[in-house]
Amino acid sequence: MSLKIGDIAPDFKAETTEGPIDFYQWLGNNWAILYSHPGDYTPICTTELGRTAQLSNEFARRNTRILAISVDGIESHRGWVNDINETQHTRVDFPIIADPDKTISRSYQMIHDNASSSATVRSVYFIGPDKKIKAAITYPASTGRNFTEILRVLDSLQLTDRYSVGTPVDWEVGQDVVISTSVSNDEIPSKFPKGHREVNSYLRYTPQPDK
């Protein structure tokens, strides 16, 4: 069973391809995405890590740090990074945690004991500056992660963290959002000066506040 939304993300110290890190200190006041891989030199994960590197500027623009983890050792990771850079035509510039004793993977409940005693579940954790889990997505080994969706979720999380809104089905940046039911109609003009559209008492749309 994975960590739940709202849980505190476990702190840890780790050896990574970018040197040793203390997670909370490394995170600072940033957002983070921590995602796991079942092992090094795996084809789907190679494409994912490459895509993450290609999107480095997008994550930086969102004040988000990336951290990957695999249960293999640091020397294996370094060799894998060379392969990723070569085959994906990029440069991996974020840390990959070496977790051979699976301590960190287990603290994040990433080990799927029913399937394997060693392979990490392919989870993506979205972690806020308050060190809490904001969202989690888990993929099977055969399905590559959708980074368009990961960025969309991150945009939604950051927007709804700042404003009393939610993002409706298939929402994309720039589209209308839904006003939280905790906001009364009397409060709307001061909170959402761009105006609003009321479908019924609980479904009220407003333009994205920060656009």
Point out the residues that are catalytic.
45
170-188 b/e (C-beta count within 10 Å ≥ 16 → b)? ebeeeebbbbeeebeeeeb
Alpha-helical regions (H) of 5-140: 23-27, 43-54, 56-61, 74-88, 103-107
User: In this structure, are residues 90 and 53 in contact, taking their beta carbons and an 8 Å threshold?
Assistant: yes
Q: Are 62 and 159 in contact (CB under 8 A)?
A: no
> What own/partner pairs with CB < 8 Å and gap ≥ 24 does 187-195 have?
191/163, 191/164
Contact between residue 12 and residue 105 where contact means Cβ atoms under 8 Å apart: no
Task: Tell me the residue type at 94.
Answer: F
Residue 193 DSSP class = T
Provide the residue type at 3 as one letter. L
The whole-angstrom separation of Cα 68 and Cα 48 is 10
Please give the single-letter amino acid code of residue 15: E
**Edge-to-edge strand order for the sheet containing 197-200?**
165-166, 177-179, 203-206, 197-200
